Copies of this chain bind each other. A is one copy, B any other.
Amino acid sequence: MSGNPSRELVVELGERSYPIYIGEGLLAGFGRTAEKHGLPKKSPILVVTDEKIAPLYLERVVASLREAGYEAASHVIESGEQAKRLEVLGDVVTTALETGLDRDSTIVALGGGVVGDLAGFAAASYMRGVRFVQAPTTILAHDSSVGGKVAVNHPLAKNIIGAFHQPEFVLYDTETLRSLPAREVRSGLAEVAKHGLIKDRAFALWCDENAEKLLALDPEALAYALYVGCGVKARVVSQDEREGGLRAILNLGHTIGHALEAVAGYGELTHGEAISIGMCGSARLAEKLGVAKEPVYGPTRKLLAKLGLPVALPAHFDTDAIMEAMMHDKKFRGGQMVFVLPQEIGAVDIAKGIASTLVRDVVESLKQGESE
């Protein structure tokens, strides 16, 4: 453990409130934290992780749990978005059954958003719901591990089969981030930037100024960014757990982004890359519609480009296919397109009934990626 103090945040959800612990080396204390949160010892715990994370951190978690007196088993899935499918959910359940997981058991997600979403849906649906813990290992997962949205994909649409299932706690060991591939660092910073863009102007500007430090994984800058990012997410979720309204602002860039991921066949673009292009699209749309009170496309594009993220759509993407995929999105409701649009840097609004022709123009223009 380093000298960096660990930080704590709370997602306020009444009886279902839970803490987010952020700090270096926290995985070593996993078992003690499990104990502190009263995870029952009579029932086995299943740690779900992926094939890249397993050799690096799985043993640490399992050993810590066993040391604290837990029976711990593990299930390793393939790495990558493709793992978020029903079949893999079935495999997790096979291990759960073979391990003897019962209603008092806990499923732990040790990994990025893919492991978190899949293992979370397993926890939500195994025996109609068992306890769940998030141990994020990517920057992107500062977003996905908070808020209780869990899901798998369908070939026709992302995250379309899922649930709301809040964890008992989130344990975020920032030491794990050092092994992240550079592309995944950039991808995760897209959601960090998003949290500034939707609700915290000062933080968005701070990200712009500290882009290099963040890309270099400077511990202090990173810990601060994750703390603020998780904080924005936690506050929004506390106010609107099941996305009745406000929570939708977290979807900035995601209507276009999810469509890009679906069209690319889950893999060509990371989630962060897709929403980076999507946030540029939303900013353009906001300017076209005249809902932005200040220039938003320029600054958004500059921030994301500084973070090493794509801001233009590769030319080979088929616009018709993207439009079609958008129609399948959860944010498309009652026949109307719904978009989160920036009003200014740090504030967004939700706009309904947007003409699909206009969206189409914006998607096309993203292929040029002109700087204004």
Contacts and interface: CB of A to CB of B under 8 A. Distances in A.
A17 interface: no
Contact of A86 (B86, B126, B330): B86
B124 A330 contact: no
Contacts of A4: none
B89 A125 contact: no
A346 to B, nearest CB: 28
Nearest to A128: B162
A141 to B, nearest CB: 19
B124 A160 contact: no
Interface string A97-124: 1101011100000000000000001001
Interface residues of A, number: 41
A163 B128 contact: yes
A156 B124 contact: no
Contacts of A330: 102-103, 127-128
Contact of A125 (B87, B126, B162, B334): B162
A371 to B, nearest CB: 36
Contacts of A155: 94
Given A90-B86, A149-B128, A162-B128, A156 B97 contact: yes
A154 B90 contact: yes
A363 interface: no
B43 A103 contact: no
A43 B334 contact: yes
Given A161-B89, A334-B42, A154 B97 contact: yes
Contacts of A225: none
A102 B333 CA distance: 6
Interface string A326-364: 011010111100000000000000000000000000000
Nearest to A332: B102
A219 interface: no
Interface string A313-332: 00000000000000110101
Nearest to A42: B334
Given A126-B161, A160-B127, A163-B129, A335 B149 contact: no
A157 B102 CA distance: 12
A85 to B, nearest CB: 8
Interface string A243-275: 000000000000000000000000000000000
A298 interface: no
Contacts of A87: 86-87
B151 A128 contact: yes
A126 B124 CA distance: 14
Given A102-B332, A104-B333, A334-B40, A156 B125 contact: no
Contacts of A311: none
A325 to B, nearest CB: 10
Given A42-B334, A97-B154, 15 more contacts: A40-B334, A42-B335, A43-B334, A86-B86, A87-B87, A93-B154, A93-B160, A93-B161, A94-B155, A97-B157, A102-B330, A102-B334, A103-B330, A128-B164, A163-B163
30 contacts: A42-B334, A43-B333, A86-B86, A86-B87, A86-B90, A90-B161, A93-B160, A93-B161, A94-B155, A97-B157, A102-B330, A102-B334, A103-B330, A103-B333, A104-B333, A104-B334, A121-B125, A125-B125, A125-B161, A125-B162, A126-B160, A126-B161, A127-B160, A127-B162, A128-B149, A128-B162, A128-B163, A128-B164, A129-B164, A163-B163
